[in-house]
Amino acid sequence: MCGIAGVIDFDQDISEQTAIFKAMQTAILRRGMDQNGMHITKHAALLHTRLAIIDPEYGRQPMQYTDGQEIYDIIYNGELYNTAEIAAQLRKEGCELKTHCDTEVVLQAYAHYGADCLHHFNGIFAFAIWEERKQRLFLARDRIGVKPLFYYQSGNQLIFGSELKAILAHPAVPHEIDSNGISQVILFAPGRTPGCGVFRNMKEILPAHAASFTKQHGLMISQYWELEAREHTENFQQTVEHVRFLLTDAIQRQLISDVPIGTFLSGGLDSSLISSVAAREFAKQGRILHTFSVDYLDNDKYFQKSKFQPNSDPVFIREMQAYLQAEHHWTILNTAQLANALFDAVHARDLPGMADVDASLLAFCKEIKAHVTVALSGECADELFGGYPWYRDPEIRSAYGFPWSQNIADRLAFARPEIRELLEQRKDMDQAYQATLARTALLDQESDTEKRMKEMMRLHLDWFMQTLLDRKDRMSMWHSLEVRVPFCDHRIAQYLYNIPWEWKEYQGYEKGLLREAMKDYLPERILWRKKSPYPKTHHPHYLTTVSKLLEDRIAKPDAPILKIIRKEALENLIYGNDPIQFYGQLMTKPQTIAYFIQLDYWLEAYQIKICV
């Protein structure tokens, strides 16, 4: 993967603003430190940092192409998994390709098909193409939203980038949050409203959307793909075979790389399936797969079973290790590493995030990068196949509101009185929930259960999954590690959307359909293992450590967090015994304390002005 950024300004000559562009480029240098480049004209600057995966020698960017009528320059962050098919079709239609990298395929496809090129792509991407003669910028983001693309517009000026930090490095962009930003960090965090960049007037191109920017028409945004409600016409056995094909095909396509590649392995269903398919493909080539797992110091001693986490991962990881005959790598994290990484995780995300869930992945990715440059991970299977507990609990799934955030009153209780009143007046959570339901494609003849399950899938794709994809992208790219997510293939999402719910939970198991479709790829105990969430430390010293960190931060009278959060509420969080689930089962008391540490640090480190 890579980092992209740029500036379009139709009101002034920006060709001499090299220092600004260098600062923007440097801000995202960690996304790709193999190569970097700039393309600067009177009204446009395209900036790129490259993590070379395919065709390292000839895939340098920005890349230029001219068809005799127009001059096209591209900066691209992503991977196309059907590059060969598109390249063959382009050649058949008279195009000449000089490399075998997907950047050139995207560029020439745009020159050849225009915006319709997006319908040809299977992959994860965010890219910008500048057309010099038309003086037009084209921006696009992949269908599921795996790769990020933010922007800030002020009149005839547009500043964009892979990460917020690239845009914030431009002197024209203020480091401010208004009432909407406050709402995001108190009510929605660690998620955020789709399309919202939290900072004042900062926005994000939505998944499956593209945009053009010209002086005449300004910024025009359009959607090029959406989940469709269709009658499911295949029988159960055909559905099983179809799922099996789609998943194995997605994994096999995503194993293409000119640099070392491996897989995450948690011992759960999703990562184990990916690793198993990958190991078989590697075996055909006489290669050994590298797999990677994370655990926490003394977790074998302190692990506590719960409804959501009935068992620990290591025993299942070792069983898969023996089954795969892979070269396995363990990362064991201690409390100090987790606590220290909380602060780097803020810089990686440019926002307070998922606390130690972010921090642990950040530290884990650093260790993985020492061995491979690309890794495959199992994110998003639960969103598509209905694996989360709230999918299967009729009471929770029928409850009004986001299933993972049923504690709005508890969140509001942290806010200062004037902030709480403001947030209650805005009613952001209610409006966001209703808007998401309104976007859900349904069939009239469906049962109430089927309609609700489609709404649940829509909620997860737009919200919960985007939070996890944000986390995966920022934490991995902080260490120039490309992480691919085969379950995010848009073909899988569309097909799964219309499969009857009773088939998805085949034989009463969460993700029962997935288990049935892939049963030949796993040992029985792994195949039928009950879902367990992302692992976290159970060491009591972690709670002690983060409690002391937050205690020290709020002891300062000028602590920025105290401008929006009640000190008494934070003290009660630290010293009290009230149970809390800040973001589903992923964020209980230790993670909530860590989140407020991140929030205070973010306000301080990014020198954020609060405008309400």
Which residues are identified as catalytic? 2
Q: Which amino acid is at 70?
A: E
Q: Which residues of 174-204 are buried (b: 16+ CB within 10 A; e: fewer)?
A: eeebebbbbbbbbbbbbbbbbebbbbbebbb
Which residues on neighbouring strands pair with residue 3, listed in sequence order?
A: 49
Whole-angstrom distance, CA of residue 29 vs CA of residue 100: 25
Q: Tell me if 300 sits within 8 A of 314, measured CB to CB.
A: yes
Write down how long the chain is.
612
Task: Look at strands 609-610 and 582-585 and give their pairing.
Answer: unpaired
Q: Which residues of 534-554 are buried (b: 16+ CB within 10 A; e: fewer)?
A: bbbbbbeebbebbbebbeebb
DSSP string, 468-514: HHHHHHHHHHTTT-EEE-GGG-HHHHHHHHTS-HHHHTGGG-TTHHH
Q: Tell me if 599 sits within 8 A of 352, measured CB to CB.
A: yes
In this structure, the dihedral spanned by the alpha carbons of residues 358, 360, 362 and 365, taken in order and rounded to 10 degrees, is: -130
Each as own residue / partner, the long-range contacts of residues 183-187 (CB below 8 Å, 24 or more positions apart, any chain) are 183/423, 183/426, 183/428, 185/351, 185/352, 185/564, 185/599, 186/411, 186/412, 186/414, 186/415, 186/419, 186/423, 186/564, 186/565, 187/405, 187/408, 187/411, 187/412, 187/423, 187/428, 187/429
Whole-angstrom distance, CA of residue 581 vs CA of residue 442: 31
Whole-angstrom distance, CA of residue 564 vs CA of residue 415: 6
Residue 173: other Cβ atoms inside 10 A: 18
Burial class (CB in 10 A: 0-12, 13-18, 19+), 582: buried
CA distances from 324 to 267, 272, 328, 517, 535 (A): 12, 9, 10, 19, 22
Whole-angstrom distance, CA of residue 475 vs CA of residue 393: 32
Q: Residue 544 has which token pair?
A: 């002690």
